[in-house]
Amino acid sequence: MLFPFCSKKLPQKKWPFFKDLILRLKQDYKNKYPILLAPGLDEIDEANEMNAKVVLDNNQPIDIKTLVSLISNAKFIIANDTGPAHIASHLDKNGVVLFGSHTTAKKVSMENYNFKAISVENLNNLTVETVLKKVKSKLN
C-alpha cells in the first residue's frame, strides 16, 4: 500500500517519484503484489493517474476505520510523512517512510523494528533506486 500524498500546506513532505516507483515495483515484482492507494478528497484525480488500484467508497475517500483495516492487512507500506504512515508505524507494519528536511523520523517517533525511515535533505534528490533498494531489503 502506498501513500504518495501529503498536506497541501506542507508540499515539501511529498516525494515526487511515486509514479515511477509504482512502475518499477510492477516490473521487478511481476505484479506479485497489488499496489493500493487510498487518496483523500483532493487527491483522487492524482491517484487515478498513478497506475495503481485506487481504493474509494462510492467515489469518495474511505473512512478512517476502513483505512486502518487496509493498513493492517497490507503486506508493505511506502509513504510520505503522513497520518497513514503514523498509523502503519503504530501497527508495527513492515514498510518505509520518506522524510525530507521538514522534520526527522526520531522527532515524530515514526521508526520501529519493521517500519524504517529514509531521510534526505531534499526529497527531490531521493532516487527511485534508493527507495527500491530499501523496499527489496525488507520485502521478499
Q: What is the pLDDT of residues 48-100, one digit of tens each?
A: 999 999 999 999 999 999 999 999 999 999 999 999 999 999 999 999 999 98
| 129 burial via Cβ count (<10 Å: 0-12, 13-18, 19+) | exposed
Joined together, the cell numbers standing for residue 2 give 502506498
Cβ neighbours of residue 110 closer than 8 Å, sequence gap 6 or more: 81, 85, 86, 89, 97, 99, 117
Give the global pTM.
0.92
On whether the CB atoms of residues 71 and 133 are closer than 8 A, the answer is: no
Residue ranges making up the domain that contains 42: 2-138
Residue 113: which CATH number? 3.40.50.2000
Q: How many domains are there within the chain?
A: 1
In this prediction, residue 2 carries a pLDDT of 97
